[in-house]
Structure 1
Amino acid sequence: MTIRAALLLTLLAIVPAAASPADNAIGYSHPQRRISVGGGRRLNLFCIGDGTPTVILEAGSGGSTADWWRIQQRLAGRTRTCAYDRAGYGYSDPARRPSDAEAAVDDLHRLIAKAALGQHPVIVGHSNGGLYATLYAERHADEIGGLVLVDPGFPGQQDYAGYGLASATTAALQRWASGLIDTGRHCLAMAEQAGRSTIAKAPECVSTPPEDPSILRRSLRRIYMQKPYEAANLSELECSFGIGRDGLTRDDREFPAPLRALGDLPLIVLTAEHHPAPVGGFTQLEQARFWQTWKQGHDRLAQLSSAGISIVVSGSGHFIQNDKPDAVAQAVRDVVSAARRNETRP
């Protein structure tokens, strides 16, 4: 054996192999800490890493801690990073009230206190979770250290009449929003009546990202087959896509108008480069207007803070944390660094 070969064998013995995706995802396939938030309810919380401020990860509608397995692993070496399941999702107890933005904010506020997650956490929200994170900042601006909004929803998002589209196109978007709620009702009925063997064959109810590790996909499919999950998901869809005659949703009405300015709160808004309209038949001009309206909504969120930044993430779709996890992780690191600097200001 050569000296070089001997040294290589020694290095292989002392340097651990990089964790596989399945290794990184396994913690999301079972409950972690179940924290009491009052009323006999517990929410599942999964924290890794050390340091302050704590980063709290808020998934979009129908999502769970599992939405963040790529991001949480990237951040754990920098600070404590926690993902949690909203009521009815993942390994949390069923929801006992409508799953609107106010309920999400109230539960998160209780969770932060009960789990002792520390002062001035950085909240990261994706999609509808970004809408909830924004309302949290509106209600508790003095209690958070920063925000990262990942292709977030925003108040007025479902007011399609304001997108500058043809009337037929606007009507198609409104039918699509109603269709999401109809699908939610269908999936809840399947979970209540049809049994697991039947709902397992309904891809509209139990589909999982094919690129996720198999252990994670199996656990998610089990969750999707359960009534508490489908009930919470339907309620979120009704609150965020149920459009009233005023063009607003229940979630929209829970926001102040205008939104409260957030001072110099560290804030980054990430926009997906590829956010196509959810229905067909759009002209190229209408698609451009649809995306531009989405981007303008994100720009308005960034403008809530004098330190706000709005960034388009090249090559990403709506799930930026899956398509470009390094970009999301870097945005969170940047906000954490800014929050730490703010903590040391005289």
Structure 2
Amino acid sequence: MKSLVHLNGRPMEVLQKGGTGTPILIMTGMGCSFEEWFNVTEILCETHKVILFHRAGLGASELGTEPRTTAAAARDAKNLLEVLEVTEPVVLIGHSYGGLCAQHFSKLYPQQVGGLLLVDSTSDSLEKLDELPDLAEDASDDKWLEECGKFAELDESELKKMIRPMLSENQKKLPRPIQQRLIEFQQKPNLYKAMKSEVENWRADAKIIKSLGTLSGIPLIVIGRDMDYAVEQGVEEGWPGAELRAQEHLWHTLIQEQSALSENSELFFAKGAGHMIHLDRPDLVIAMAQKLTQIPWNTGPKRA
């Protein structure tokens, strides 16, 4: 069930599925709609209460005037759980930038997290990625901020003429109404205002998150993408092979390091999956979310 929940007078778009079982809260990636989690949530909601939300500026969630930071996203998530009267610890899933937000939430409110699943999450050492050259001239943060700023200044009708999103092959397998909503999601100016603010703040956010220390004993599962698969896909799309492999090797290392955030962790690499693991390997995300109730585990990287 989708609804608008008011947090401090600002509407937030929320999707709730299922009614019983351990609550699962999903924090989506930058510029990503919760609609693309359909395959994962359709299974998890059979035995769990699943909650997803669009951060400020995404979908029907009002943007507001506050800078978009991981701390703001964490506070919004905490306030949302209070409004929804979720009092027991949640299993928290964070993908990409949403994983960085999930790390911040887990460090600020550890008593509210029963388990954390990081899905190809942005690292709190993301500044290390700056050590590598950009794969293309238009791939830098500055270029991305420039593009977001340009799109943010357009009205919705102008943006629809300029941006005609192409769905991925896995997105095309989702139900037709969801496909249409994914396209419309990308054609709203506030999305680009929100992303611009998130990118402007994420390096400072990462330093703050790192300064908060580890996750102590919170049960943690880290899933990273398949490095070889990502390189193959990138080369097919025309990216330079050597530079791409160097970037993927560093990303792989940063994912491995995330497993050290908790004393109670396990690390997997999703065979045959790129960055959008929840679309490429929903089976693995579902299995790992369910596994968070099973401890202790043996640590060490695995391919699944």
Question: What TM-score does the superposition give when structure 1 sets the normalisation length?
Answer: 0.75
Partner of 2:189: 227
Partner of 1:214: 176
Report whether the alignment pairs 1:281 with 2:240.
yes
Aligned residue among 271, 292, 304 for 1:314: 271
Partner of 1:201: 161
Alignment of 1:172-187 (within 5 A): 176-187=140-151
Q: What is the alpha-carbon distance in structure 2 between the residues aligned to residue 333 and residue 105 of structure 1?
A: 23
State the percentage of identical aligned residues. Answer: 21
1:51 counterpart letter in structure 2: T
Task: Return the structure number with greater strand share.
Answer: 2
- The 8 Å contact of residues 58 and 124 in structure 1, kept in 2 or not, is answered as yes
Structure 1 residues 26-47: Cα deviation after superposition (integer angstroms, max 9, x where no partner):
x6xxxx2222221x11212211
Greater gyration radius? 1
Q: What is the alpha-carbon distance in structure 2 between the residues aligned to residue 94 and residue 179 of structure 1?
A: 22
Alignment of 1:1-346 (within 5 A): 32-38=2-8, 40-162=9-131, 165=132, 169=133, 176-190=140-154, 192=155, 195-196=156-157, 198-203=158-163, 206-209=165-168, 210-211=171-172, 212-240=174-202, 249-257=203-211, 259-273=212-226, 274-276=229-231, 280-283=239-242, 286-338=243-295
2:145 counterpart letter in structure 1: I
In the TM superposition, residue 68 of structure 1 has moved relative to its aligned partner by 1.2
- The 8 Å contact of residues 199 and 206 in structure 1, kept in 2 or not, is answered as no
- The 8 Å contact of residues 89 and 232 in structure 1, kept in 2 or not, is answered as yes
The unaligned stretches of length 5 or more in structure 2 are: 297-304
Q: What is the alpha-carbon distance in structure 1 between the residues aligned to residue 137 and residue 278 of structure 2?
A: 26
Q: What is the alpha-carbon distance in structure 1 between the residues aligned to residue 248 and residue 43 of structure 2?
A: 29
1:218/1:292 CA distance change after superposition, 3 Å: same
In the TM superposition, residue 290 of structure 1 has moved relative to its aligned partner by 2.1
Q: What is the alpha-carbon distance in structure 1 between the residues aligned to residue 64 and residue 141 of structure 2?
A: 23
Q: What is the alpha-carbon distance in structure 1 between the residues aligned to residue 263 and residue 88 of structure 2?
A: 22
Partner of 1:9: none
In the TM superposition, residue 338 of structure 1 has moved relative to its aligned partner by 4.5
- The 8 Å contact of residues 74 and 104 in structure 2, kept in 1 or not, is answered as yes
Q: What is the alpha-carbon distance in structure 2 between the residues aligned to residue 71 and residue 160 of structure 1?
A: 30
Structure 1 residues 273-321: Cα deviation after superposition (integer angstroms, max 9, x where no partner):
03347993342xx444322221221222211112111110000010000
Q: CA RMSD in A?
A: 2.5
Partner of 1:24: none
Q: What number of residue pairs does the alignment pair up?
A: 287
- Helix, strand or coil: the match of 2:284? helix
- The 8 Å contact of residues 138 and 144 in structure 2, kept in 1 or not, is answered as no
Question: What TM-score does the superposition give when structure 2 sets the normalisation length?
Answer: 0.85
The unaligned stretches of length 5 or more in structure 1 are: 1-26, 241-248, 340-346
- Helix, strand or coil: the match of 1:81? strand
Q: What is the alpha-carbon distance in structure 2 between the residues aligned to residue 71 and residue 159 of structure 1?
A: 31
1:54/1:83 CA distance change after superposition, 3 Å: same
Structure 1 residues 108-132: Cα deviation after superposition (integer angstroms, max 9, x where no partner):
1111111112321011011000010
- The 8 Å contact of residues 89 and 228 in structure 1, kept in 2 or not, is answered as yes
2:260 counterpart letter in structure 1: Q
Q: What is the alpha-carbon distance in structure 1 between the residues aligned to residue 159 and residue 93 of structure 2?
A: 32
Partner of 2:299: none
In the TM superposition, residue 103 of structure 1 has moved relative to its aligned partner by 0.9
In the TM superposition, residue 73 of structure 1 has moved relative to its aligned partner by 0.4
- Helix, strand or coil: the match of 1:265? coil
- Helix, strand or coil: the match of 2:217? coil
Q: What is the alpha-carbon distance in structure 2 between the residues aligned to residue 185 and residue 281 of structure 1?
A: 28
Q: What is the alpha-carbon distance in structure 2 between the residues aligned to residue 330 and residue 173 of structure 1?
A: 39
1:105/1:113 CA distance change after superposition, 3 Å: same
2:286 counterpart letter in structure 1: A
